[in-house]
Amino acid sequence: RNRPQLCAIVGNQFEMPPEQSFRLFIVGEILGATDFENSGLYVQYFLELPQNWKAYDHKLLCGSSQIASITNHGNKEISTFSHPIEFDLTYKPEINIDLTRGSTSVWPTLYFEILSLDFWTRSRTEGYGFIELPHVAGTHSVSVSCWRPVGDSVVEDLRRFFTGGTCQLEDPTFSKIPGSFESNNLVKYGFRTRSTGKLFLRLNCAIQSWSNLYKIVSECPTVGDEKQRKIALAHMDVSTIIKAYQKARSKLLETRKVIEGLRKSNS
């Protein structure tokens, strides 16, 4: 009954996500950073997409900011980036879910590497950090605590100070859990690190969901809930078949009416 009114409000060009999927749209900004050892900061970032996630534009999944300008707020210096970021993603799950595997995060993770560049073009890694994209629509202010790896001797500190050479991660996803990691336990004991500064972001999140899929996916942290999700997705698959049947049946009825009309006209 309210369909014509809703169509008039929304319009005819409102883009819907594909069936059995939901769309996550992020427009945000890397605001600034504070408490890092050096100035001349810039940020490199990339978004890691888990299985069943796709991006409409892969060029937006990684990038680098400009070198920050320094502003003073009271007694604290803040490196200001004001660098825009944007992600347009879609998630379409598979019906066949392996219940023997442990629960894993299905949400995209945004990784950061903060670097510095001084007057003598010496580059240093100032920190690593990561966040999962927001699970809830709205505006989110996010603070990312960063750290960097350190060497085993004072020579590493001297090299960092005089020549700019620093310890770096071969795989930036090691700051969380690497995607290639397949064991049950990840031990980082003995890996030497040092806390550095904080990175600040503002993210605006919009979600388009097919039926109740978004709620199913975002609220299933345990294996037991994985079973519920599999059942729900199976129902979704059945509903798609029903829709196709109803569509075919309506076409058949229309064709039958046309044939009956032709028969009456010929008689």
Within 10 A of 31 (CB to CB), how many other CB atoms are there?
18
Whether the pLDDT of residue 218 is over 80: the answer is no
Torsion of CA 187, 189, 192, 197, to 10 degrees: 70
Across 121-130, b (16+ Cβ under 10 Å) vs e yields ebebbbbbbb
Tokens 């040092």, residue located = 194
CA distance 21 to 71: 43
pLDDT of residue 220: 52
CA distance 189 to 177: 14
Strands (E), the chain: 22-34, 41-48, 53-55, 62-64, 69-73, 76-91, 109-117, 123-132, 138-149, 193-209
Whether the pLDDT of residue 84 is over 50: the answer is yes
CA distance 32 to 13: 37
pLDDT higher at 101 or 216 = 216
pLDDT higher at 237 or 164 = 164
pLDDT band (50, 70, 90) for residue 203: very high
List, for residues 64-83, the tens digit of each pLDDT value: 999 998 888 778 888 999 99
Q: Which of 148-157, 182-191, 232-241, 242-251 has the highest mean pLDDT?
A: 148-157
Out of 32-46, 112-126, 241-255, pick the least confident.
Answer: 241-255
Out of 59-73, 99-113, 124-138, 166-180, pick the least confident.
Answer: 99-113
Whether this prediction's pTM lies above 0.85 is answered by no
CA distance 102 to 186: 14
* Rounded alpha-carbon distances, angstroms, from residue 11 to 6, 7, 8, 15: 8, 5, 5, 10
pLDDT band (50, 70, 90) for residue 211: low
Whether the pLDDT of residue 110 is over 70: the answer is yes
List, for residues 225-234, the tens digit of each pLDDT value: 555 555 455 4
Map out the domains of the chain as residue ranges.
15-211
Out of 92-96, 156-160, 194-198, 229-233, pick the least confident.
Answer: 229-233
Q: What is the DSSP letter of 18?
A: P
Whether the pLDDT of residue 146 is over 90: the answer is yes
Out of 46-55, 98-107, 130-139, pick the least confident.
Answer: 98-107
Contact 165, 95 (CB under 8 A): no
CA distance 91 to 157: 44
Radius of gyration of the chain (CA): 26
Taking the domain 15-211, which CATH number applies? 2.60.40.150
Whether the pLDDT of residue 164 is over 80: the answer is no
